[in-house]
Each structure stands twice: as structure tokens, then as C-alpha cells.
Structure 1
Amino acid sequence: MATTKKSTIKDIANVLGITPSAVSKALNNHPRISVKTKEDVIQVAKNLNYQPNHLASALRKGKSNLVGLIIPKANSHFFSSVLQSIEEILNDKGYSVIISQSNESYKKECESIDVLLFTQVDGVIASLANETLNFSHYEKIKANGIPLILFDRGENDLEVDYVGINDYQSSHLIVNHLVEQGCKRIAHIAGYRHTRIYKNRIIGYVDALKKHDLPIENDLILEGSLSLEDGRKKMEALLKLPNRPDAVYAAGDFAALGALQVLKENQIKVPDEISLVGFGNEPFTSFVSPSITTINQHSEEIGRLAAEAFLYRIKNPKKKVSLNKMILNAELVVRESSNKNP
């Protein structure tokens, strides 16, 4: 099958009888090129279906106006909301966003970074995959002098700007609320503690239990992927304990939904017998019955701050500025799944 030859600047120049240099200047709105010539060039470019070579342009100018965005999963309202906020701000400043989904895979994350570096992006904004334990692929971004901004899931060892919520405080908000509702045996369906945000949520949970003189038992802390299916499995395991919990705090809303399904299948009344709290304020948490108490992570604000951090770094490439750790206070959204006294 024959491939269609791509049109070039030289092809446009040949049609108009001008130099390739004049075409290039016209396409880049150079002030020395007449309006008439610019209009002619644009029309011929459209007729020839000319597509600019952004990589070649980036190599020439040292700037691509492209920003890479790496997210763990696109089916999360939190990440899609952060993405939308970042895009709105960066598009307004003339940047296009290249979106890559790691699907929680370390290998996919490494591949994405290689592609973004090859594409000559001006910066990378990212949230780490669950599988990521080694950060050498992110160090490559820094070694290339490209601004790297992390959000939600980030590691202090990388020494880059970071935006997220106070995960430690979030656990205190949740445990305090459950204790106020009369709960005394609170389980935690946790994320993997090698990821900083989940480690901080576990520490916050443990410290909050200590504050209320409640028992800390290893069989009540179950680490996992926080997927819906993982939430189901963890809830089934908790129900098999000789002394089952009277409350469950899941570090992700999808895990909380899976736990809720199991509780309903076992005719366990929520919150009368077991209270339930999630994390992330996914839209479905307000629609299911009972509606799920959760943590609002202020996704739009996180996206805005991440985009602004990149813009600041790109405008001040040589300025020695201390790292910016932007930590937002979380908000507990109380709903039916934990509110025993509505």
C-alpha cells in the first residue's frame, strides 16, 4: 500500500514562487512578511494539507510549547478534573498538553517519559504510578533541565515542586468523625505504603487511633490497589475476622464502593452496623445508596497550582528558587454511610 508523501515548507514555496525561509517566517507570523503573503501561505498550506514538524521546530527554537502530563488512570474524577484545570490554564498561555496514562504501571511510566523527552516537551507534570519504587526515569527529566512538577503522588527524594492535600490530616478528620459517631473498632483499607500519600494516610490513621485510646491491630490495616475489586476482597476479609470492625476507612472511593457492595450483599446495615468512609469525592459517592462519606481533595485547585508552578519555572529557568511544596487542607464530606445521627 502506497504511503502519501507529506507536504513540506519547500512544497508551499514552490507553489507560490517564494523561498522556504519566507514561508517559514509567514507561518510564524514574522512582522517583516506582508499580510498578503501570510494569507497566501496559509491558504496553500491548507490546500496541501501541510502539517508542521513540531519536533524540528522545537529543536530549532529550543521551545515546543508542549507540556507532558502523566496520570495513573483517566477513569478517576480526581485525575480528570486535575487534567481539565491544567489544560485550561496552559492552553490559555499557548501550551498544548500531551496526556499519558500509566495505568499504575512503572514500565508504562518509564516509556511515557522517554516519549515526552523525545518530543522535546517544555515541562512534565505527573502523579506517580502505584508500581513506581525507583525514580531514575524522573531524574532524567531533571537532568535535561526540564521543569518537573508532581501532584497528589510525589516523592520528597526527587526535590521538585509538589502540589497535594494534607493526607495525614485527612486521616485524622476521618477517624475523629467516626469516633464521634460512636465507632470504636475502625479498619483501614489502605494503599501501598511505599507511596508517600498512602503512607501518610496510614500514619495519620494510627496516630488518630492513639489519640482516642483505640486499639491498633495489624489485621485491621489491609494494603492494596484500592480498585473496586480490591475493596470487595478487603471487605470480605474484614468480615471473616472473629471480631469484625464497626467502621471501615478506605483510602480510595473505588475501594469504598467495592466494600459497600459486599456489605449490602451480606445484609449488613450501613452505617448502623458498620460505618464506611472513602477518599476522593468521586461523583458516584453522592449517587449510591447509602451515599458515601468521603474526602474532597480540591482537584481543580491542585490542577491550577500545578500549572502555575510550571509557568513560574519556565519563566525563571535560571533563578534559584526554593522548592515549592503546596499542601492544601482536606475537607470531609459527611454523607449517609457514616452519619448515624442525620
Structure 2
Amino acid sequence: MEICPKCSTNTFVIRAGMIRGKVRYHCKTCDFHFTQEHSEKSIPQKQIHTTIKDIANIMGVSIATVSRALNNKSDISPKTRDAIQKLALELDYNPNLFAKGFQRGETKTIGVVIPNIKRPFFAGVLSGIQEIANEHGYRVMICQSNESYETEVTNIQGLLASHVDGLLISHSKETTRFNQIKNLFDKGLPMVHFDRICTEVDTPKIRQEDFEGAFQLVEHLIQQGYQRIAILAGPPELLISQKRKEGYIHALEKHGLAIQTEYILHGDFSKEFALASLDAWQQLPEPPDAIFAIHYLNAVEIIQYAKELGIEIPQKLGIVGFGDEYLAEIVEPALTVFHLFPQKVGEVAAALLFDVIANKEARQQKDVLVQGQLIIRKSSLKKG
């Protein structure tokens, strides 16, 4: 509090605006006006979040005046505007973009829910999403369900509390109920599904070549001379598991090979399940001579375990996997895969979401297919 230079009291000294770039004060005790340049000691210690109100209190002006100055409005004197902007810089003031956006009915933020951020596929998808979001001037809030339905629901609730403008989602392996998604879609929230999609809601969807990719992988094995081909499938309720299994069956049927139920195992994507499956198959009277894993990481794990068991790859056991990353290239022998181009998946998903945000009337179901590519490596080259 400033001391009045006339009566030497500060009991009733108040700020009374600005004059010639200086703070103007009024002492009510002696009815005296005086000016004082705001000194460093009059500026409070920098806070984590300096507000317009903080600046207004220091300058002795109204919040509206500070707002006009920070927005370079013409209905304020240049000296007052410059003084306010200088103080704002000293206090590290940053505008509350969320509050501004909320007033306009937008926050320039999108939410993303994925099952597992550690998986290279989803890391690649996030990279693509972030790139497109940057181009549109949006921020990205990322949540991980960790393959839990309850966590997925909590994630979505948190994103809604942050008033995201749209949602990109790939469901957890536990998710079989979609009431929350249905309600949000009915309320008009822009939303796009990718990878693990929901067919119960007419949201736009980014699809991959799950059926076609599986067909190409299995047909490649058949062309290499493998006859007893097993499939390490994922949870049966997942659409990607269903589609990739259908591609596997179609390839066998096309080439006249029998579909043997003992060669078809469903489970989670854990390493324990993959290794236990190989053990179970090896106990059969006629073990499979090739394995198609719908998740490439399980295929890598099987390669390593098979070598420990003394099984020659690819001579005695051919192995292929769905999806690709660096690990699939450096494992010995290198894994044959169907590459999904996750960065492209993320880019296409984000671009589609921004289309829906810009035109909410066009949010009806729209499927976009991101094509993959068969990459043949040594793990399946029986014929060389």
C-alpha cells in the first residue's frame, strides 16, 4: 500500500487509474491525488497463473481496461495500453485459452483414448494425430485405458470434463458395452473410431485391411508349402480378431486346406498366452507347421521361444504376424508381417475428426480404409 506524501498515512489510499504512464492514487484522508511509478516491490512475486484481475489490481484499473489493453483495442490510451502490456510481460501473464474457447463454444482441444500407449502401433497413431492437430491449431489430450473398460469410461468422462471439441477412440479389449459412446454421439459430440471400432454407433471409422491382410499372410504361407497352419487369435469379441480370423479361414478354404479347430486359439495378447499356445500345439499328434499371430509381438515372442525349444524356423515352423515395427525386423529370423502404417492411420483419423468438427451435420458414418502392405522376411521363406 502506498503512503500519501501529504498526510503520511496509507489507511485510505486507493488506486485511481493511470496518468501519463504512472499509477494514480487518491488519499481519502486528506483528499489528495498523487502519482507513483509502480516499483518492483509493488509487483507481487510471480505466480504460476497470473490473471487479468492481478494486473488490474496492480495497475489500479478495471479488469475491462486490462482486457482491452491486452487485446490491443483502440478505445484506450497508448500509454495505458503499453504500461499494462509491459506489466503483463513482467508477470508472465498467459491468456486462459480454455476460458476464451469455452466462451466461443470450443476449446481447440481434442481427446484421444487408446488401449496401450506402450505399443508401437498406437505410438505411431498418436504421432500422426499430433501432426494433423498441430496443422489445425489444436491441442491433444491423450488417455490410456490400459485395456480396461472401467478405465476407458473414466478417461472419457475426464475428457468431457475438459470440454474437448471431439474424440478419437480405439476401445479396450474388455469393452463390450457402448452406452456411453451412444449417448455422446446422440448429443452431437464429434467422434471418430479407429483400429478397435464400435459397430453399434454410426460414427465415422478408420478401418484397416484386417481381412485382406490376414488372407495375404496365410496365402503366402500356403504358397511356401505350409499345410498345417495355426492361428493365434485375440479376444473373440474384438472385431479385428473376427476379421483377421475370417481372412485366415478364407485363405485355407481357397486352397482346399482343412480348418482344424485345435489350430485355432483365442486369448489375450500376453506373452504368457503366446508361449502356452505354442506348448499346446507342440503336444498335438500333428503339430502345426506354421503359425499366424494376429498381433506381431506375439509372433516375435513365439520365434524366440521356438528357438529355445530347438524348433528350426522357417524349415520346421513358419511364422507370420499382423502389424510391424523395428523389433520385427531385428528378431532372428526377421518376421514376415502385414504392415499397417500407423502414422497414416493417425493422420487420416485426425483429419476426419476435424472434418466432422467443422461440419457436425456431416457426422454420419463414413468408413475410410487405410491400406496395408505384405512384407516378406525370412521367418516364412521355407522355399528360400
TM-score, length-normalised on structure 2? 0.82
**Mapped contact 2:190–2:363 kept (Cα < 8 A):** no
Q: Report the CA distance shift for 1:293/1:119 in structure 2 as closer, same or farther (over 3 A).
A: same
Structure 1 residue corresponding to 2:245, chosen from 202, 213, 217: 202
SS in 2 for 1:278: strand
Deviation at residue 330 of structure 1 after TM alignment: 2.3
Q: Report the CA distance shift for 1:191/1:38 in structure 2 as closer, same or farther (over 3 A).
A: farther
Does 2:216 match 1:216? no
Does 2:322 match 1:269? no
Q: Distance in 2 between matches of 1:321 and 1:194?
A: 26
**Mapped contact 2:356–2:362 kept (Cα < 8 A):** no
Note the 1:1-342 alignment, pairs <5 A.
7-24=50-67, 44-45=87-88, 47-50=90-93, 52-53=95-96, 56-317=99-360, 319-320=361-362, 322-342=364-384
Q: Report the CA distance shift for 1:246/1:36 in structure 2 as closer, same or farther (over 3 A).
A: farther
Root mean square deviation, CA, Å = 2.3
Deviation at residue 74 of structure 1 after TM alignment: 1.1
Deviations 1:38-89 (A, max 9, x none): 7765654454455655554443221001100111111111111110111011
Deviation at residue 188 of structure 1 after TM alignment: 0.3
**Mapped contact 2:214–2:322 kept (Cα < 8 A):** no
Deviations 1:176-222 (A, max 9, x none): 10001000000000011211111111111112111111111111111
Q: Distance in 1 between matches of 2:80 and 2:255?
A: 76
Q: Report the CA distance shift for 1:82/1:36 in structure 2 as closer, same or farther (over 3 A).
A: farther
Deviates more, 1:271-280 or 1:6-15: 6-15
Deviates more, 1:224-233 or 1:112-121: 224-233
Q: Report the CA distance shift for 1:291/1:24 in structure 2 as closer, same or farther (over 3 A).
A: farther
Q: Report the CA distance shift for 1:24/1:123 in structure 2 as closer, same or farther (over 3 A).
A: farther
Q: Distance in 2 between matches of 1:34 and 1:243?
A: 90
SS in 1 for 2:378: coil
Gaps of 5+ in 2: 1-46
SS in 2 for 1:99: strand
Identity %: 35
Counterpart amino acid of 2:202?
Answer: E
SS in 2 for 1:158: coil
Deviation at residue 340 of structure 1 after TM alignment: 1.9
Q: Distance in 2 between matches of 1:336 and 1:34?
A: 75
Q: Report the CA distance shift for 1:143/1:29 in structure 2 as closer, same or farther (over 3 A).
A: farther
**Mapped contact 1:169–1:329 kept (Cα < 8 A):** no
Deviation at residue 109 of structure 1 after TM alignment: 0.3
Gaps of 5+ in 1: none
Deviation at residue 144 of structure 1 after TM alignment: 3.3
Deviation at residue 278 of structure 1 after TM alignment: 1.0
Q: How many residues align?
A: 338
Q: Which has the higher contact order (CA 8 A, sep 6+)?
A: 1
Deviates more, 1:196-205 or 1:179-188: 196-205
Structure label with greater radius of gyration: 2
Deviation at residue 25 of structure 1 after TM alignment: 5.2
**Mapped contact 2:125–2:345 kept (Cα < 8 A):** yes
**Mapped contact 2:203–2:363 kept (Cα < 8 A):** no
